[in-house]
């Protein structure tokens, strides 16, 4: 998934981002409301982890603008306020979930996964096709019963190909969902990752190239 973390404390923002990257998500970071709105205007996110108390443009306003714009991203709002009235206020603004500080990273990651499933058509946690089994909760991949060790990028690419259910997936879509905002759109990163993925999955080749369209697992 593509996730935007909006948190004004740099150390906490980086810690959240690194934890979510370990979950194979592509993560961008903003430290204020203005930066969040700028990124939201150019990138399609599945989930936004949004601190309510931001400098300048507050998290409440960012959430409100997302709702007004009809953004598809789900919002997990973070705040130090633990009162019920505060949680209700945050949810009434359009947030999909609410987490108070301090929190356990494992819980935040679980909530992000849950919101991500709601931002897309539902898919099972274990994906199967063409002899491939991908457990998205355990982050394990198998082909014909053989364990396949994958990097985070390779795992995320394979998940997108399996979710497509045989339809081709463009390199642009993979770049959007698997890499973060620092990725060069002209980089051969997707092609190289696909080559490595094919090599690890072994013979017979299972990932097809659809000329001028993208890649698919038929």
3-class secondary structure per residue, 28-93 = EEECCHHHHHHHHHHCCCCEEEEECCCCCCCHHHHHHHHHHHCCCCEEEEEECCCCHHHHHHHHHC
Convert the pLDDT of each residue in 113-159 to its tens digit.
889 877 666 567 789 999 999 998 888 999 999 999 999 889 999 99
**Rounded Cα gap, residues 186 and 103, in angstroms:** 38
- The DSSP code for 169 is B
Calculate the average pLDDT of the chain.
88
**Which residues 6+ apart lie within 8 Å of 31 measured at CB?**
6, 7, 8, 10, 13
**Which residues 6+ apart lie within 8 Å of 35 measured at CB?**
6
Are 73 and 48 in contact by the 8 Å Cβ rule? The answer is yes
pLDDT at 92 over 80: no
Percent of the chain's residues with pLDDT above 70: 89
Out of 11-25, 48-62, 82-96, 101-115, least confident range: 82-96
The predicted structure's pLDDT at residue 88 = 64
- Model confidence, pTM: 0.66
- Percent composition of the chain: helix, strand, coil (DSSP 3-state, to 5): 40, 20, 40
Mean pLDDT of the 49-63 span: 91
**Which residues 6+ apart lie within 8 Å of 29 measured at CB?**
4, 5, 6, 7, 13, 14, 17
- The rounded Cα 18 to chain-centroid distance in angstroms is 12
Residue of 116 and 200 predicted with greater confidence:
200
Are 108 and 102 in contact by the 8 Å Cβ rule? The answer is no
The predicted structure's pLDDT at residue 83 = 60
**pLDDT band at residue 94, thresholds of 50, 70 and 90?**
confident
- Nearest Cα neighbor of 86 from 102, 68, 99, 76 is 99
Report the Cα–Cα distance between both ends of the chain, in Å, rounded.
22
């Amino acid at each position: 998934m593509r996730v935007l973390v909006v948190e004004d404390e740099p150390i906490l923002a980086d810690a959240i981002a690194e934890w979510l990257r370990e979950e194979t998500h592509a993560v961008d970071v903003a430290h204020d409301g203005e930066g969040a709105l700028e990124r939201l205007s150019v990138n399609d996110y599945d989930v936004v982890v949004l601190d309510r108390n931001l400098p300048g443009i507050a998290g409440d306003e960012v959430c409100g603008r997302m709702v007004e714009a009809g953004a598809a991203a789900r919002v997990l709002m973070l705040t130090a306020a633990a009162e019920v009235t505060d949680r209700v206020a945050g949810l009434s603004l359009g947030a999909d979930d609410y987490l108070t500080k301090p929190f356990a990273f494992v819980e935040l990651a679980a909530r992000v996964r849950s919101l991500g499933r709601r931002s897309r058509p539902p898919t099972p946690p274990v994906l199967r096709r063409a002899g491939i089994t991908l457990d998205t909760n355990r982050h394990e991949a198998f082909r014909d019963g053989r364990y396949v060790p994958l990097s985070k990028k390779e795992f995320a690419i394979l998940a997108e190909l399996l979710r497509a259910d045989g339809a081709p997936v463009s390199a642009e879509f993979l770049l959007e969902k698997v890499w973060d905002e620092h990725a060069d759109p002209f980089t051969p990163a997707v092609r190289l990752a696909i080559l490595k993925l094919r090599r690890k999955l072994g013979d017979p080749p299972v990932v097809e190239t659809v000329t001028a369209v993208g890649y698919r697992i038929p």
